[in-house]
Amino acid sequence: MEEFSGTDFTRPEAVQMAGAPAVFHLSGETGTGLFERSARIRMLKTG
């Protein structure tokens, strides 16, 4: 999980992960959870 140790653009095969708390609304109910996203370093923009 590169998010916790920085983004190393010299390792394009590595995975960058980011997570954030989220509030979900479904069928009249509200709940909390975690929204996560991941991408290979080579897919990230550098500028």
Contact predicate 20/34, CB 8 Å: yes
Residue 32: domain span: 2-43
CA 24 to chain centre: 17
Q: What is the pLDDT of residue 36?
A: 86
Q: What is the pLDDT of residue 26?
A: 95
Q: What is the pLDDT of residue 19?
A: 81
Q: What is the pLDDT of residue 43?
A: 84
Residues of the chain with pLDDT under 50: 1-2
Give pTM, 2 decimals. 0.49
In DSSP terms, which residues pair with 38 in a beta bridge? Answer: 17
Name the E strands within the chain. Answer: 15-26, 29-40
